[in-house]
């Protein structure tokens, strides 16, 4: 499935690139043709303005002769005067050509610059999104190696490692689909998505002796999203919570339905986050350089981008020296009857 997506994306990029180049060539040709015609007209006008009429040379006044005589009179070119006008018009043509070329290049290069920016963002997003899964696989591999040395069973760890690889493959597919603007939200069981995510990232938390708690609600909460997309969001927020939490602490995840929304909160026991909370969701945002921890770059920005595909939101509910609480909201796929009655 993935190779087809990659092939389609490559063909689409090549086609759009060829169309852009063809459009630039056609517009430049039309502009240069128009400038050439304008230049020829201005050259003729310059010659005319730099010449004088034969009848005027003989001392006749236009009032003394008929219009026919005026038309049959010859033009005598005054070379000095004509050269001055020609130089002025040529200078005007050169300036006009440069201005038109600058304007066209600016207008035509803008889509290409946008495409390059999107491509760079995609590379940065892919690099960031694959960083955590690779860290999980690395940690799992070290754990398998340790158990092998001790002669312990590794069947469960190998199965988890296989799931990690499969999850990374899903992330790559999701990145490719998102780059093409393709989304297909469906009803996702958030309790299962949260449980899967915690099971995946828990190996990183255990390295810091951090415990992640989650108690599924009594009723099933179904949200309109994509399983891979929401798990990417949860991994990003939980990864930030782990990185910015002291050792031997806890992270608490809660889930509940409120009206027509599914609400997920993630609370850590870290030292809090400094600065304007909205800046944390900007690309390549960084906390204060004096801060002990570093790492806010694309995670939260990507989380907001992904959630926006499902009309979801993420915000900082609170932050202090006692910890930070993040809140994720998504549309419910099935609105509880109580909420429907309350909205009436």
Question: Structural domain boundaries of the chain?
Answer: 2-120, 185-343
- CA 154 vs. chain centroid, Å, equals 41
At 290 the pLDDT is: 38
At 211 the pLDDT is: 95
Please say if the pLDDT value at position 198 is more than 90: yes
The whole-angstrom separation of Cα 121 and Cα 283 is 10
At 221 the pLDDT is: 94
Instruction: Indicate the SS3 state at residue 241.
Output: helix
pLDDT in tens, 54-84: 445 555 454 544 444 444 555 555 566 667 7
- CA 321 vs. chain centroid, Å, equals 33
Range with the largest mean pLDDT of 33-37, 76-80, 268-272, 285-289: 268-272
Residue 341: count of CB within 10 angstroms of its CB: 8
What integer is the mean pLDDT of 198-206?
90
The whole-angstrom separation of Cα 310 and Cα 303 is 11
At 160 the pLDDT is: 81
At 46 the pLDDT is: 62
**Per this entry, what is the length of the chain?**
344
CB 299 within 8 A of CB 128: yes
The whole-angstrom separation of Cα 140 and Cα 158 is 9
CB 334 within 8 A of CB 187: yes
- Which residue matches tokens 């390549």? 284
Please say if the pLDDT value at position 307 is more than 80: yes
Pick the CATH number of 185-343 from 3.40.50.2300, 3.30.565.10, 3.90.180.10, 2.40.50.100: 3.30.565.10
The more confidently predicted of residues 172 and 109 is 172
């Amino acid at each position: 499935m993935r190779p087809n997506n990659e092939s389609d994306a490559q063909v689409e990029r090549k086609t759009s690139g060829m169309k852009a180049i063809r459009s630039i060539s056609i517009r430049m040709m039309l502009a240069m043709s128009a400038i050439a015609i304008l230049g020829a007209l201005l050259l003729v006008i310059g010659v005319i303005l730099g010449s004088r009429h034969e009848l005027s040379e003989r001392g006749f006044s236009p009032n003394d002769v008929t219009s026919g005589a005026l038309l049959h009179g010859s033009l005598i070119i005054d070379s000095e005067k004509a050269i001055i006008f020609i130089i002025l018009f040529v200078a005007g043509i050169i300036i006009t050509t440069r201005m038109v070329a600058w304007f066209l290049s600016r207008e035509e290069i803008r889509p290409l610059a946008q495409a390059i920016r999107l491509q760079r963002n995609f590379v940065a997003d892919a690099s960031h999104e694959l960083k955590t899964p690779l860290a999980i696989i690395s940690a799992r591999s070290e754990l398998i190696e340790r158990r092998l040395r001790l002669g312990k069973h590794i069947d469960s760890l190998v199965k988890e490692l296989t799931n990690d690889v499969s999850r990374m493959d899903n992330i790559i597919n999701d990145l490719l689909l998102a780059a093409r603007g393709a989304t297909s939200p469906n009803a996702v069981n958030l309790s299962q998505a949260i449980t899967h995510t915690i099971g995946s990232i828990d190996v990183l938390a255990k390295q810091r002796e951090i415990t992640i708690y989650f108690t599924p609600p009594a009723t099933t909460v179904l949200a309109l999203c994509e399983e891979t997309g929401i798990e990417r969001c949860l991994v990003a927020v939980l990864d930030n919570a782990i990185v910015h939490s002291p050792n031997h602490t806890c992270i608490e995840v809660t889930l509940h339905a409120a009206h027509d929304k599914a609400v997920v909160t993630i609370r850590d026991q870290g030292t809090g986050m400094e600065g304007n909370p909205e800046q944390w969701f900007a690309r390549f945002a960084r906390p204060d350089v004096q801060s002990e921890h570093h790492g806010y770059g694309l995670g939260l920005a990507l989380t907001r981008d992904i959630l926006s595909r499902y009309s979801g939101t993420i915000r900082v509910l609170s932050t202090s020296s006692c910890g930070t609480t993040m809140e994720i909201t998504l549309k419910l796929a099935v609105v509880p009857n109580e909420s429907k009655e309350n909205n009436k």
